[in-house]
Amino acid sequence: MNISIKQLQAFREVLRTGSVTEAAKQLNRTQPAISALIGNLEKELGIELFERQPGKLIRKPEAKYFFKETEAILEHLVQFARTMKEVGNLQEGRLRIACMSSSALLVIPRLVSGFVQDKPKVKVSIMVRSSAVIEEWVASQQYDIGLSETPALNSALIMKTFDLHCICAMRHDDPLAQKDFIRPEDLDNKPLATPNEGHPSLIAMREVFRSAGARFNSRFELRNFQPGLRLVEDGLCYCICDPMTASSYIEDHRTESPLVFKSLFPVIPLTVSILQPAHRPPSLLAAAFVKILEEKLKTMNETFKLENL
């Protein structure tokens, strides 16, 4: 069966107006064209919808039933077209984001909040998992976007990698707060809040301190850095954290911040990647959000580098 939208529109207008002539006017077509569309529709259906009399069409009972179905089909097409237009304008759809805990507490929620502020029909799923799980979810196309520590090369992933630098948090009244940047020697044997054992950044921190001949005193081990900043506020330690945590803290304390953040030298690297499925094109929503996330990561890294080095 090969029924066209034009045939359905012609049929509906003939039923609505009761006249081929009026239907032709409404659809901006000729009378013969409308008659041909009705005739071809009847051939496709295998039934006659109208009784032909000189100068007019008389609808049969079957036409009344088919009219209801036609109305439903055409209305559905209108709604579908409207929905797809909203999808194209980023006004409707679903965004699935998987992220590591350091970004999930503040950075991702803030970006999502700004992104969907004028998009009430957009639904968002934010899941916090380890980097290994994020890699698996995105590679298997369960999630549109992932933000994780940079994984090994994976043909199922598109990766945009950012070389971030760890930041040192301290109280604003600490003597080290007057320095332009912090060296391992400045933190020699001072209590630190650091990532938990086995974290790549912790390994890098220890190596930088060892090379500088400074003692590395990890007093508090953390799964994410946010609690460490409270420990710093209470004067219990310094915290070597990621710039995402530092940037979020600064945004939360715009008027009066009890902490200051200084860049470290030598640099302690923290490499993160935005992940997307390699074998599925991104939705317009996902592409737009990734662009915002990329700009955020670039900006926060450059901010600390420019201000403190």
158-213 tens-digit pLDDT: 999 998 889 999 999 999 999 999 999 999 999 999 988 878 889 999 999 999 99
State yes or no: cis peptide before 32, omega within 30 of 0: no
Measure the CA angle with vertex 303, ends 301 and 307; round to 5°. 125
pLDDT at 309: 44
Confidence of residue 68 (pLDDT cuts 50, 70, 90): confident
Domain with CATH 1.10.10.10 in the chain: 5-88
Lowest pLDDT segment from 70-79, 159-168, 260-269: 70-79
Alpha-carbon gap, residue 298 to 162, rounded angstroms: 8
Residue 13 tokens read as 């207008």
Q: What is the distance between the alpha carbons of residues 194 and 145, in angstroms, rounded to a whole number? A: 27
58 by Cβ neighbours in 10 Å (0-12 / 13-18 / 19+) ranks as: exposed
Which of the two residues, 275 and 149, has the higher pLDDT score? 275
- Taking domain 92-160+273-299, whether its CATH number is 3.40.50.720 is answered by no
Quickly tell me which residue has 């700004």 as its tokens: 114
Q: Does domain 164-270 have CATH number 3.40.190.10?
A: yes
- What residues have CB less than 8 Å from 84, skipping those under 6 apart? none
- Alpha carbon 70 to its chain centroid, in Å, reads 38
Is residue 148 predicted with pLDDT exceeding 60? yes
pTM of the model: 0.69
Q: What is the pLDDT of the chain when averaged over all its residues?
A: 87
Q: How far is CA 50 from the centre of its chain?
A: 53
Instruction: Fill in the DSSP letter of residue 160.
Output: E
- Spelled out in words, what is the top-level CATH class assigned to the domain 5-88? mainly alpha
Q: Is the pLDDT of residue 90 over 60?
A: no
- The larger pLDDT score, comparing residue 237 to residue 129, is at 237
Which stretch of 3-17, 168-182, 211-225 has the lowest confidence by average pLDDT? 3-17
Task: Fill in the amino acid letter for 54.
Answer: P
The SS3 of residue 122 is strand
| Cα R_g (the chain), whole angstroms | 32
- The mean per-residue pLDDT over the stretch 82-93 comes to 61
What separation, in Å, do the N-terminal and C-terminal C-alpha atoms of the chain show? 71
278, 280, 285, 288: CA torsion to nearest 10: 30
Q: Where in the chain is the domain with CATH 3.40.190.10?
A: 92-160+273-299, 164-270
In terms of Cβ atoms closer than 10 Å to its own Cβ (0-12, 13-18, 19+), residue 192 is buried
